[in-house]
Amino acid sequence: MTPGIGGFSGLFALGDDYLAASADGVGTKLKLAFETGIHDTVGIDLVAMCVNDIITSGARPLFFLDYYATSKLDVDVAEKVIKGIKVGCQQSGFALLGGETAEMLGFYAEGEYDLCGFALGIVEKDKVIDGNNIVKGDVLIGLPSSGVHSNGFSLVRRVLEKSGLSLSDQLPRNDGITTTVGEALVAPTVIYVKQVLEIISKGGVKGLVHITGGGFTENIPRVFPSGLGAKIFTGSWEVPPVFSWLQQAGNIDDAEMRRTFNMGIGMVLVVGRESADRIIEETRGANPASRIGEVIQGEGVQYV
Q: What is the pLDDT of residues 274-304, one digit of tens each?
A: 999 999 998 887 678 999 999 999 999 999 9
Residue range(s) of every CATH 3.90.650.10 domain in the chain: 139-303
How high is the mean pLDDT of the chain?
93
Q: What is the pLDDT of residue 184?
A: 93
At 82, the pLDDT band (50, 70, 90 cuts) reads: very high
Ranges for all domains in the chain classified under CATH 3.30.1330.10: 10-127
pLDDT tens digit sequence for 121-130? 999 999 999 9
Whole-number pLDDT of residue 6: 58
Separation in Å, CA 22 to CA 53, 297, 304: 7, 31, 33
Q: Please answer whether residues 295 and 134 qualify as being in contact, where contact means their C-beta atoms are separated by less than 8 angstroms.
A: yes
Question: Is the pTM higher than 0.85?
Answer: yes
First to last CA, the chain: 37
pLDDT number for residue 17: 97
Which pLDDT does position 174 carry in this prediction? 73
Helical ranges in the chain per DSSP H: 29-36, 42-54, 75-92, 153-163, 181-186, 193-201, 215-219, 241-250, 254-260, 273-282
Judge contact between 181 and 167, C-beta under 8 A.
yes
**All residues at 6 or more sequence positions from 183 whose CB lies less than 8 Å from its CB, including other chains:** 171
Give the pairing type, strands 301-303 and 228-232: parallel
**pLDDT tens profile 209-220:** 999 989 999 999
Tens digits of per-residue pLDDT, 5-41? 557 899 999 999 999 999 999 999 999 999 999 999 9
> H helices then E strands: how many in the chain?
10, 11
Is residue 2 helix, strand or coil? Answer: strand
Q: Which pLDDT band, with edges at 50, 70 and 90, does 1 fall under?
A: very low
Rounded distance, CA 209 to CA 65, Å?
A: 23
Give me the CATH code for the 10-127 domain, please. Answer: 3.30.1330.10
* Residue 59: alpha-carbon gap to chain centroid: 16
pLDDT at position 4, please?
A: 52
Find out if CATH 3.90.105.10 is the number for domain 139-303: no
CA distance 108 to 176: 41
Tens of pLDDT along 187-207?
Answer: 999 999 999 999 999 999 999
